[in-house]
Amino acid sequence: MNLMLPDSGLLFWMTIIFAIVFFVLAKFGFPIITGMVEKRNKRIADSLEAARIAEDAIAHLTEEQERIISETRASQAKLLQEAAAERDKMIAQAQDKAREEAQKIMDDARVRIQEEKEAAVREVRQEVAKLSIAIAEKVIRKELSTDDAQKALVDKLLNEVTEL
């Protein structure tokens, strides 16, 4: 028996059987299975991709959110700062104004007081002058009751005038 010699009958049957198996499996077997598995793999890959995109979007959103929060916080701080500054400024301004006003009032008051005072002094002086004149009149009237005295006085006055 020669093992290396292919038997014609077996060749014949093997060709037929293998051809039938091949055609049946190639038509109804393997492509269906591989096709479905490939479809499934594609879907899995697509799902993974979609999940990745969603994850990215979420990460992006979180980032955005953080950014907005920090921005808001910054602007809030800025606003607060500005408000505080404004407030301080307003207070300072008000204080300045008040001080000025007070100064002005006081200055006015002082001026008026001065004026009043001066007026009063003037009045007092006038009054004093009047009184002095009146007193002087009375004194002079009493002293000039004699002619000698009147003459002495006129002389004295004339001297004074001529001396000038």
C-alpha 50/C-alpha 58 separation (Å) is 12
Asked whether position 25 contacts other proteins by CB under 8 A, the answer is: yes
- Spell out, one character per residue from 88 to 107, where the chain touches other proteins: x when CB under 8 A holds, - when not: --------------------
C-alpha to C-alpha distances, 118 to 9, 110, 121, 122, 128, nearest whole angstrom? 156, 12, 5, 6, 14
Considering only residues 26-45, where is the footprint of other proteins by CB under 8 A?
A: 26, 28-34, 36-37, 39-40, 43
Compute the residue count for the chain. 164
Of the listed pieces 18-26, 75-83, 128-136, 145-153, which binds other proteins according to CB under 8 A?
18-26
User: Which residue stretch of 5-13, 58-66, 96-104, 116-124 sits at the interface with other proteins (rule: CB under 8 A)?
Assistant: 5-13
* Contact between 51 and other proteins per CB under 8 A: no
To the nearest whole angstrom, how small is the minimum distance from the Cβ of residue 21 to other proteins? 5
Q: Measure the CA–CA gap between 50 and 44, rounded to whole angstroms.
A: 10
Distance CA 148, CA 83 (A): 93
Residue from 12, 87, 96, 101 in contact with other proteins (CB under 8 A): 12
State the nearest-atom distance from the C-beta of 39 to other proteins, in Å: 5
